Amino acid sequence: MIGHRGSGDGRRSWPMSTLFLPLDDRKRAWTLTALLAVYYLATMCRDMSQLDSPELALAAYQLGLGHPFGQPSYMLLGWLFSHLPGIEPLHGLGALSALCSALCLVPALSLAEHFARGGDATAVVNSRWLYPAVAVVALHGALWEPASRIEVYPLASFFALWGIALLARLLSMKDQARRARPALDWGVGLLFGLAAVTHLFVGVLSATAVAPRLLALLLRRELPLQRLLRICGGGLLGLTLLAYVPLVAGRSGIFLWGDPTDASALLHYFSGADFRGERPNLLFLPGALEGGAVAAVAQIAAQVGQWTLHFAPSLLPLLLVVASVAQLRPGRHGLGPLALPLLSGLSLLMIASNTIFRPDNPDYLGYLAPSLWCSTAALGAGLLRLLAGRGRRALALGVAALALTALLSPPSILARSRHRDRVTRLLAEGALAEALPDAILVVEHDHYVAALLYLTMVERQRPDVVVLATGLSSSSWYWRLQYQLHPELRAFSLRGPGGRDARLRRFLDAHAERPVRFERVQTARRMGLHVCAGGWLFASAARCDPKRAPDAAPTRALAAALEELGSGSPASDGLITLVAYERAIGLLATGHPEAALRSLLAGVPKRLQPSVEHRRLTARDGLLRLPDWQRQPLLGDPGRNLFAAGLLLAADAQVEAATRYLAAAAATELPEALALQSGR
């Protein structure tokens, strides 16, 4: 048993080696942190990954500006890590996530000691068992996910967790010791401020969770107002890093979202106006629903239920609840009993209040990361308290149970394949390779837009290609960027009747000599253009050669990538499924039903596909009459692919094969397939 080293009045050293946090066994803490870092580094993605990763990589490498609120701290550190000598930029940025996530273990261990003592500085802590109990939970899939790809959440979580742990120890110190270290008050606020400028919600939610405790201590006159003001001053000091946004704006030829070069553009940028119509939050806009606040509360409650069901196999909801309940004990010192339940509850509330809610969105784990790390610390401490005095065997079995829970959480430690994930590069490089010189690529989804921009602007692959993002074509800053990258482009009228599609058509008409490829056939047809099946994208042409078969290489590449990765790189399997589905719809629309069927199945894991033979589909032009899908995942849904394959076979009068595919879709619990199966 190792006691709380220090003098009776609570004073002790705050060495730099422990991030100003008291740890009873610094050597063991740093050893476990190093081992965790090695694991995170070994299993991280070595490429762009999906979702916001390519955009963040592009902005960080160029010292530019990503989507609001800019992530200044990440941009600065990201620039440094992406320019390390002898290291590929994407490797360096991946390492930034892995190292920041591993460093979260240090404040988590300090918090575990705090929770184990219950705020009593005279209690004892058995770090021999406590540290491994916390460290093994860090291998849980929910903590590994943001640690293994390019994202802002690991850095934001590290700042937030460090701030929480430092505050916990600060509030547990005796008055005399606290008065001797006023700089630590500033440090606590600074860390929360840095968390907020890295990711606004992570920083704000973490600070909000501890605010009631500080106010309670202030009202009981146990916390002098001067100390609270120093903490708030430190937070404001951290927020000054937002000055990065206007300082970096105005540079030419780099990615600057919004290009906020004046007061109006700055206000537009920081208000999040670019997303206002897409992602309203029910906490701030309860009137977004017809029923007002009542309907908003009902929807939030339903989405909490969806989130709970989705993550139940990983025991994540149970972990949060057990850890929160374990801290609901009266305590006069430290963070108090409500900080952890508040942090977990507020984080989940923020997630569930999104009107566009996708429980499979990996970013939600990033929102939860600080509360997950705090819960990990609380679980380790609770285990130690529960098994204290029951012998080494009981402690070993307890730690082993935590390890088993973490290692088997999906994706299990043996199934994780993110270090082999190159799906985003596969798509973008495939589109660039097939593009003719000076081509215009009209793309819609983030996995094409940001990845193509990174390849053309950073790696200088095919800088002749113009990347025309349909979603950003309403933003003047994006057009300025394209004209900076391609000064040879001719001017055209941005404003005019017809909205976005008409604007895109005017641009294409102004550059009629350039070859054009579309990600989606529907986009081209809305502009009144004809397209032909090609490879990854669809080529615009006045007429198509009916004898020319579409390139089968993308379909084979998607199937191979899905087979290699399985479900071990969250979201990448859904991305493959989505791309396969979208390509299939386009292939069918351009008169290639057999190629469409093969593309659909390329996005479905082999274990879900029925073993049934079918004859070659006859040529047909048109789209399947697909339903408005009730189940809305973030990316693709294998059930949709199977259902569409069944409908395609049924339209070709291949009844037995169609029935088998529709049954396979029902096995995924796709609502449309279940309704068809039951005859509704």
Instruction: Kindly report, residue by residue over 240-276, the tens digit of the pLDDT.
Output: 999 999 999 989 999 999 889 888 889 888 887 666 5
Helix intervals (H) in 138-220 = 141-147, 153-172, 175-179, 182-198, 200-219
Handedness of CA 61, 64, 66, 69 (dihedral sign): positive
Give per-residue pLDDT as tens, 167-187. Answer: 998 888 766 555 557 888 999
- The CA-CA-CA angle for residues 49, 55, 59, to 5°, reads 130
Instruction: Work out the average pLDDT over 527-535.
Output: 92
Average confidence (pLDDT) over 67-86: 95
Place 24 in a pLDDT band, splitting at 50, 70 and 90. confident
pLDDT at 153 over 60: yes
Identify residue 278 by its one-letter amino acid code: E
Mean pLDDT, residues 54-78 taken together: 95
Name, of 26-35, 275-284, 354-363, the range with top average pLDDT.
26-35
pLDDT higher than threshold 50 for residue 14: no
Residue 331: pLDDT over 60: no
Which of 276-280, 341-345, 459-463, 484-488 shows the lowest per-residue confidence on average (mean pLDDT)? 276-280
Cα angle 416, 101, 576; round to 5: 35
Q: Which of 444, 62, 123 is nearest to 257 (CA)?
A: 62
Predicted local distance difference test score (pLDDT) of residue 287: 62
Instruction: For residue 658, give the amino acid letter.
Output: A
Q: pLDDT band at residue 125, thresholds of 50, 70 and 90? A: low
For the chain, the 3-state helix, strand and coil shares in percent, each to the nearest 5, are: 60, 5, 35
Q: Distance (Å, rounded) from C-alpha 348 to C-alpha 370?
A: 12
Give me the pLDDT at residue 4, please: 42
In the chain, the percentage of residues whose pLDDT exceeds 70 is: 91
Q: What are 124's strand-pairing partners?
A: 3
Angular region, 613: left φ>0, alpha ψ -120 to 50, beta rest: beta
Lowest mean pLDDT among 10-14, 121-125, 250-254: 10-14
What percentage of the chain reaches a pLDDT higher than 90? 68
- What value does the mean pLDDT take over residues 15-44? 89
Q: Report whether 435 contacts 462 (CB < 8 A).
A: yes
pLDDT in tens, 644-664: 999 999 988 899 999 999 999
Residue with tokens 């590069």: 425
What does the pLDDT read at residue 6? 42
Q: How buried is residue 528: exposed, middle or buried, by Cβ count under 10 Å (0-12/13-18/19+)? A: exposed
Q: Residue 147's closest CA among 157, 137, 160, 161?
A: 157
pLDDT number for residue 8: 37
d(CA 564, CA 417): 8
Residue 531: what are its φ and ψ, rounded to 5°? -130, 155
Under DSSP, is residue 123 helix (H, G, I), strand (E, B) or coil?
Answer: coil
**Region 188-203 average pLDDT:** 96
Encoding tokens for residue 98? 């892995």
Q: Is the pLDDT of residue 204 over 50?
A: yes
Question: Which tens digits make up the pLDDT trace of 432-485?
Answer: 999 999 999 999 998 999 999 999 999 999 999 999 999 999 889 999 999 999
Cα distance between residue 435 and residue 433, in whole Å: 6
pTM for the model stands at 0.93
Give the tens place of pLDDT for each residue, 380-428.
888 888 887 777 788 888 888 888 889 889 999 999 999 999 999 999 9
pLDDT, mean over the chain: 89
Question: Do 282 and 303 form a contact (C-beta atoms < 8 A)?
Answer: no
Least reliable range by pLDDT among 177-181, 224-228, 343-347, 561-565: 177-181
Residue 586 has pLDDT above 80, yes or no: yes
User: Tens of pLDDT along 609-640?
Assistant: 999 888 888 766 566 788 899 999 999 999 99
- Nearest residue to 372 via CA among 407, 310, 323: 323
Pairing of strands 124-125, 440-443: unpaired
- C-beta neighbour count of 551 within 10 angstroms: 15
What integer pLDDT is reported at residue 3 of this predicted model? 40
What own/partner pairs with CB < 8 Å and gap ≥ 24 does 535-539 have? 535/430, 535/431, 535/434, 536/427, 536/430, 536/431, 536/434, 536/583, 537/431, 537/434, 537/435, 537/441, 537/443, 538/586, 538/590, 539/515
Summarize pLDDT for 533-576 with one digit per residue, the tens: 989 999 998 888 877 889 999 999 999 999 999 999 999 999 99
Q: How many CB atoms lie within 10 A of CB 669?
A: 10
Higher pLDDT, 442 or 14: 442
| Mean pLDDT score, 307-311 | 94
What is the model's pLDDT at position 275? 62
Q: What is the mean pLDDT of residues 119-143?
A: 79
